[in-house]
A and B are shown apart, each in its own frame.
Chain A
Amino acid sequence: MSSAAERQHAGPPQPSSLQTPVLQRELDATHTWQGPGGAKPSQITRWMSKRGVIAIRSFVIFIALWWLLALWVNRPVQLPSPLRVAIALGGLIAAGEVSENALISVSRLGISLVIAAVLAIPLGFLMGLRREAEAIIDPVVELLRPISGIAWIPLALFIFGVGDILPLFILVYVAFFQILLNTIAGVRNVDQRLIAAARTMGVGRWAVLRYVIIPAALPTVMVGIRLAFAAAWAAIIAAELIGAPSGLGFAIEWYRELLMSPKVFAFLVVIGIVGYFADLALRALQRWLTPWAQGTELA
């Protein structure tokens, strides 16, 4: 879902339109520059189908290796074959267990992302805009940030017990820092020339915040939300494994105790697939909210 490069994303994407290559200035004024998005459709379809072929091939090789390994290990409880897992998955889907648990996990994730965003975005703006606020709050953030969300599970069990609150708490915690740090970076790196331009048009402080700083920081905030999703999706399984009476993580733990490994594996597959589609949805949201930041979008 998220590569190492994506995690290390430090600065915000620079609005590409502001960096005009010298050569491009020489283009005739009536000629519309065709960016990377302006390639011919036939090229795009060819490229897509090429990528599609590569993806399917990798997938087939992966399944084949898995199968060989399963045959070689020959202990279905430890490593069931892809076929057994597929059959188990089919059964779970038919019984409605997949949709039920996936829906619970995805709702938890969605709710906690919203809560984390509501807390972290305003705080990030405050810290990005005001050095004093940053000086006070940053030490606490830096102290808490290295403590992984999962490390809080034992303590959270004491406080909240097994239930719905615990996974929400863990997920909000995990998502919060990703959104906060990216929001701060986004606000810090707003192109100062845009603020200067607005001020020479007699735009007041609040309007500069509302109509310049917020939209300029938005692409980086969106990056933070996608990173928060990736981190939270990784943590949700751990949180549900121990601390929740429902959800995909709970289902895995349930079938592990029953030694039904094909079903455990089936749920692993579901986690992968749901995560993949959720990320696609977030990307679509990103494209819709910040269409001008296309070129800088993370792969």
Chain B
Amino acid sequence: MATTNRAPKLKLSNVSKEFTAPGTGQRTVAVADVSLEIQSGEFICVVGPSGCGKSTVLNMVAGLAEPSSGTIEKDGVPITGPGADRGVMFQDYALFPWLNVRDNIGFGLRHGTPGKELSRSTREERVGHYIELVGLAGSENKYPHQLSGGMRQRVALARLLANGPDILLLDEPLGALDAQTRLILQVELLRIWGETAPAEQRKTAIFITHDIEETVFLADRVVVMSTHPGRVKAVLPVDLPRPREETIRAEPRFGHLAEEIWGLIRDEAYRAIA
């Protein structure tokens, strides 16, 4: 897929991000010189140790932060701010504490651009659909503070999907789920992304995770980042066929790929806990 000569959906060119601490004026380079071309319909996974700048990259693509240098383009146009075309699922969910599950999921449809042309009943139907999808039926009227971490995460996922963005930016979206729910939602996520649809109908996804097997199961390409400063260390194509079934995890190729990725981050992972 990376070999097509179409213009990339997303193009990051020499993107760096520096933070300056307000008090001391001390500078941290969070992201250094990241260049990456993502094709329309690609599923990209990003792995790397904590603090290597994964969330920062995602925020810049979302338009919530500006690169200190370099450019980010979507369909050849520089990104100048956030928009509903790039939906974000935040690492800490960012749910609205005063809204119940249903209203959190329907927030963008009700107050944002995604629901502009939809009738009220269509919006409600869509919200109901995603409540079912993430398995929150029965909890529609609960407030975020009444939910477990895993349930909150599913609300955030449903909220993102209900807005129907064509680029999905997911920051450790399944991290708080128990292992079983996680496997189910991985398959579900691939379906929503468009795994069974022709490639040109798929959404574009950037998926941050800590879980190496998750990257192999989901991704077309895996971006491995390293820390201090945050750089792209390697980009690995995952040459496993789609649609991916659960059984793929048992195949030797799956294990080889996971092994290879682990090899790339092992040193830093050990250094981080040493």
Contacts and interface: CB of A to CB of B under 8 A. Distances in A.
The contact size tier of chain B is 35 or more
A215 to B, nearest CB: 5
B149 A27 contact: yes
Interface in A216-269: 216, 218
A17 B97 contact: yes
Given A201-B87, A201-B112, A211-B111, A194 B143 contact: no
Contact of A35 (B88, B146, B154, B177): B146
B149 A25 contact: yes
Given A201-B114, A292-B143, A26 B94 contact: no
A33 B148 contact: yes
B151 interface: yes
Interface in B110-151: 111-114, 135, 142-151
Interface residues of A, number: 40
Interface stretch (B30-38, B78-86, B192-200, B261-269): B78-86
Interface string B148-190: 1111111000010001000000000001111001000000000
A196 to B, nearest CB: 5
13 contacts: A15-B145, A25-B149, A25-B175, A26-B149, A31-B148, A32-B148, A193-B90, A194-B96, A197-B90, A197-B94, A200-B86, A201-B108, A207-B111
B123 to A, nearest CB: 13
Nearest to A208: B111
Contacts, number: 136
Q: What 6 pairs between A and B have smallest CB-CB spacing? A: A29-B150, A202-B84, A202-B113, A201-B108, A17-B144, A25-B149
A142 interface: no
A200 B87 contact: yes
B97 A292 contact: yes
Interface of B: 62-64, 81-84, 86-88, 90, 92-98, 107-108, 111-114, 135, 142-154, 159, 163, 175-178, 181
Contacts of B135: 29
A29 B111 contact: no
Given A28-B148, A196-B90, 19 more contacts: A17-B97, A25-B150, A28-B150, A29-B149, A194-B96, A196-B62, A196-B64, A197-B96, A199-B81, A200-B63, A201-B107, A201-B114, A201-B159, A202-B112, A203-B113, A292-B97, A292-B98, A292-B143, A292-B145
Interface string A6-25: 00000000011110100011
Contacts of B144: 17-18, 292
B98 A29 contact: no
Contacts of A203: 107-108, 111-113
Interface of A: 15-18, 20, 24-33, 35, 191, 193-194, 196-204, 207, 211-212, 215-216, 218, 290-295
A29 B84 contact: no
A28 B178 contact: yes
